[in-house]
Structure 1
Amino acid sequence: MKTESNMQTIAPAIRRAVPNRIFAAGAVVVALCAAFTPLAHADNAPSKTPGGSLATAAAGSTPLPAGVVARVNNISITQDQVDQIVHTTNAPDTPALRANIKEQLIARELFRQAAEKDHYATKPEVQAAIDQAKNAAIVQAYLRDQIKPAPVTDADVKAQYDKVIATLGDSEYKPSVIAVKDAATAQTILDQLKKGVDFAQLAKQYSQGPAAAQGGAQNWISFKTPIQAGNTQNWPQPLAEALVKLPQGAVSSEPVQVGDAFWILRVDQKRPTQIPPFDQTKDVLRRQLEQAAMQKATAQVVVGLIRNAHIQQ
């Protein structure tokens, strides 16, 4: 069995909705060059202009200082700038790529100088963008210093593996589900299923539940039986109890009500629980624990700031 399939079984209780980290290296460089990056990836060949390349047009008779690849009206474009952008691309580091990047930087500097000459820096929308970028940089620097997630140790990873494995039962199931808002619609679906209408087709047509567009198909799931509250891999307990009673290929004979929704279950596959070795899952578990630690540390900073703030809504 593939590791990914196994992880879908053993780790459903671990939340994945963790905010993306905001400290991406080189993000400023990428943003500054976003308008020009298509050139850097276009066949890795230097673009041509009617009178020669921008680098040729900008060239002067005075030799360039060390570390400078071009000058535009006495403003230097450095080798470091080119290197930074090369490092943010996924393209091979070739002379053609570097030539394109240099021309992009020349073009950007020409645009900047022309805009400055026409006093674009004083336009309200430009000032707003500058303020927004400044505030974002300040927040990023603050969070980088203040958010200190607890380190995740090898023992933590192993303990998490053991904890997840302990929640699994002898069998695992790959179900499909249909969820609707009223009992009458649920009964209509059951009637159509008895007539041989395809479950996936009905899920796409009626379901308001998870993965409706995929025919209601769910990942592998396993429960320790008898079902106990709080040990249902984030499934509602009535659904878990109904699922483990169904043989492979069977559909629930009546809708299962959970709150205001009515669920119809089908067991697409059933088999003995496949437990992957620790070495195959430890990296995924470590990343999940690190994300959880980051989320917890971030929440602690937010709570501390809220406690000392006066907020009106």
Structure 2
Amino acid sequence: MLANFNRMALGVAAALTLQLAHGATVNGVAIPEAAITDTLRAAQLPDTPPAREAIKQQLIARELFRQQAAKDKALEQRPDVQALLNEARNQVLTQAWLKDHIKPAPVSDAEVRARYDAIVASLGDKEYKARVIEVADDAAASAALARIKAGEDFGAVAQQVSLAPSKTAGGAMDWVSFKVPAQEGKTQNLPMPIAQAIASLPEGAITPAPVALGERRYLIKVDAVRPTQNPPFDTAAPGIRQALQAQALERATLALVTGLLSKAKITQ
């Protein structure tokens, strides 16, 4: 009998676990499995049992809060709450209207291929993996360079003194390729002085003197040089298409704004 009871208890526990894995109800309000999946995707989290459980608990808490707030009838009448509700309503309506009226031109396969070919044509024979330290003036540049010449690691100095966003990565930049000699506007968005310095350095070398760019000064190290490695078209195409779609969306949005401005009466 005890064995049978234990088996029954285990069966009930398993059934409850299975039920919970497929969602939950909170005071009779269902939290469907789809809501958990959608929240996971929106948060860009891996679809794993622990992640699903964590999201489910968050949704349960949110539903409990919502139910308690709904019971407070005076809450909705407060001026500050009314203002927030109106703002949220306006945002929802605005986003819905924009979705209906912004119609970017579709990106064709030919456009993706043309963009890929143009990118490949803009690259040089070599690509460089470099590090950069950006400082405010000559004195700071000289002090950083002296530390490096004395044996300190370039990346460690970058983390301590660089003003560039790459400081947390020790000044490391992405692989970059451009035709040599560098030409203005054809250096993959690198400022000309920095591109020229990178191209002039052998692998492992550091600029012997700071590179001036406006009021800032730069120390550059080339960690590695290799033949340019172009990704296959099929690999690069999704990213290129996404970039072209973003540009098409930007153009369509600008056209819509321009049209609305031309008809609007605006006083300042």
| Shorter-chain TM-score range | 0.7 to 0.9
Whether 1:241 and 2:191 are equivalent positions in the alignment is: no
Q: Which amino acid aligns with 1:209?
A: A
Partner-residue secondary structure (3-state), 2:188 = coil
Question: Alignment identity in percent?
Answer: 38
Partner-residue secondary structure (3-state), 1:211 = helix
2:92 aligns to what? 137
Q: Does the Cα contact within 8 Å between 1:82 and 1:102 map onto a contact in 2?
A: no
* Deviation, structure 1 residue 284: 1.3
* Deviation, structure 1 residue 233: 0.5
1:161 aligned to which of 112, 116, 119: 116
RMSD: 3.1
Whether 1:85 and 2:35 are equivalent positions in the alignment is: yes
In structure 2, distance between residues paired with 1:266 and 1:192: 14
1:204 aligned to which of 145, 154, 159: 159
Q: Does the Cα contact within 8 Å between 1:171 and 1:222 map onto a contact in 2?
A: yes
1:149-192 per-position Cα deviation (integer Å, ceiling 9, x unaligned) = 11001001001100111110011000000011101111122222
Distance 1:82 1:108, change over 3 A: farther
Q: Does the Cα contact within 8 Å between 2:204 and 2:222 map onto a contact in 1?
A: yes
Whether 1:232 and 2:168 are equivalent positions in the alignment is: no
List gaps (5 residues or longer) in structure 1. 1-42, 48-52, 56-69, 71-76
1:59 aligns to what? none
Relative contact order: is structure 1 or structure 2 higher (C-alpha 8 Å, sep ≥ 6)? 1
Q: Which amino acid aligns with 2:71?
A: A
* Deviation, structure 1 residue 107: 4.6
1:124 aligns to what? 79
In structure 2, distance between residues paired with 1:100 and 1:258: 52
1:188 aligns to what? 143
In structure 1, distance between residues paired with 2:70 and 2:266: 43
Q: Does the Cα contact within 8 Å between 2:22 and 2:32 map onto a contact in 1?
A: no
Q: Does the Cα contact within 8 Å between 1:44 and 1:100 map onto a contact in 2?
A: no
2:10 aligns to what? none
* Deviation, structure 1 residue 92: 8.4
In structure 2, distance between residues paired with 1:101 and 1:230: 49
1:263 aligns to what? 218
Partner-residue secondary structure (3-state), 1:265 = strand
Distance 1:179 1:44, change over 3 A: same
* Deviation, structure 1 residue 300: 2.2
1:24-71 per-position Cα deviation (integer Å, ceiling 9, x unaligned) = xxxxxxxxxxxxxxxxxxx74988xxxxx964xxxxxxxxxxxxxx5x
Distance 1:82 1:155, change over 3 A: same
Distance 1:183 1:270, change over 3 A: same
In structure 2, distance between residues paired with 1:101 and 1:194: 53
In structure 2, distance between residues paired with 1:140 and 1:45: 32
List gaps (5 residues or longer) in structure 2. 1-19, 41-46
* Deviation, structure 1 residue 302: 2.4
Q: Which amino acid aligns with 1:277?
A: P
Aligned residues: 239
2:105 aligns to what? 150
In structure 2, distance between residues paired with 1:110 and 1:223: 59
Partner-residue secondary structure (3-state), 2:225 = strand
Q: Does the Cα contact within 8 Å between 1:248 and 1:269 map onto a contact in 2?
A: yes
Q: Does the Cα contact within 8 Å between 2:23 and 2:33 map onto a contact in 1?
A: no
Distance 1:145 1:197, change over 3 A: same
What is the TM-score with the length of structure 2 in the denominator?
0.78
Q: Does the Cα contact within 8 Å between 1:45 and 1:100 map onto a contact in 2?
A: no
Q: Which amino acid aligns with 2:105?
A: A
Quick check: 128-137 or 302-311, which moved more? Answer: 302-311
In structure 2, distance between residues paired with 1:120 and 1:131: 14
Q: Does the Cα contact within 8 Å between 1:174 and 1:269 map onto a contact in 2?
A: yes
In structure 2, distance between residues paired with 1:88 and 1:253: 54
Partner-residue secondary structure (3-state), 2:190 = coil
1:252 aligned to which of 207, 216, 223: 207
Partner-residue secondary structure (3-state), 1:244 = helix
1:111 aligned to which of 68, 73, 77: 68
More helix by share: 2
* Deviation, structure 1 residue 305: 2.9
